[in-house]
């Protein structure tokens, strides 16, 4: 029984970390019942996976694609016209924001065209009486 090493596989997959991820993906597939492409020789699944990669009996790009797909999470929407429920306070905030766009802070004053921030005196209601 010949031992497989990482050096045997590095020419097939350049990055060692990627090699580990791809070999682990193949080992999981073997563990879930995928057909072997090399003789087992009493080896465990990770060693068999590395031997398959070294002997190029499995396609590494396909394993990479399966690995990416296995880590993706996709939310499927059944109906695009479905109403989205607003969180508490969103509806009120939308109406307040709309009123502030149309009128001043209290609804009765003109909105300035410039984007300057009001001063503390303006927010407090003017200068204090001396």
Q: State the DSSP string of the chain.
A: -PPP-HHHHHTTSS-HHHHHHHHHHHHHHHHTTPPPSS--TT--HHHHHHHHHHTT-S-HHHHHHHHHHHH---PPPS-TTPPPPPPTTHHHHHHHHHHHHHS-TTSSSPPPSS-PPPPHHHHHTSPPP-
In a domain, 46, yes or no: yes
The answer to whether residue 74 scores a pLDDT higher than 90 is no
In a domain, 130, yes or no: no
In a domain, 106, yes or no: no
pLDDT of residue 9: 87
The 10s digit of each residue's pLDDT in 8-49 is 888 888 899 999 999 999 999 999 999 999 999 889 999 999
In a domain, 30, yes or no: yes
Mean pLDDT for 103-127 is 63
In a domain, 57, yes or no: yes
Domain that holds residue 25: 6-71
What pTM does this model have?
0.54
pLDDT of residue 1: 47
Domains in the chain: how many in total?
Answer: 1
CATH number for the domain that contains residue 38:
3.90.940.10
């Amino acid at each position: 029984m010949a031992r497989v090493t990482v050096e045997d596989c590095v020419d097939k997959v350049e990055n060692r970390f990627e090699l580990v991820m791809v070999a682990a993906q193949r080992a999981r597939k073997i563990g879930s019942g995928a057909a072997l492409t090399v003789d087992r020789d009493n080896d465990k699944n990770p060693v068999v996976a590395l031997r398959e990669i070294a002997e190029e009996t499995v396609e590494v790009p396909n394993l990479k694609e399966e690995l990416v797909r296995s880590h993706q999470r996709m939310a499927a929407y059944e109906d695009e016209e479905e109403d989205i429920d607003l969180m508490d306070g969103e509806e009120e905030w939308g109406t307040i924001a709309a009123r502030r766009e149309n009128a001043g802070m209290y609804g009765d004053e003109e909105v300035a065209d410039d984007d300057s921030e009001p001063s503390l005196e303006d927010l407090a209601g003017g200068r204090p009486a001396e």
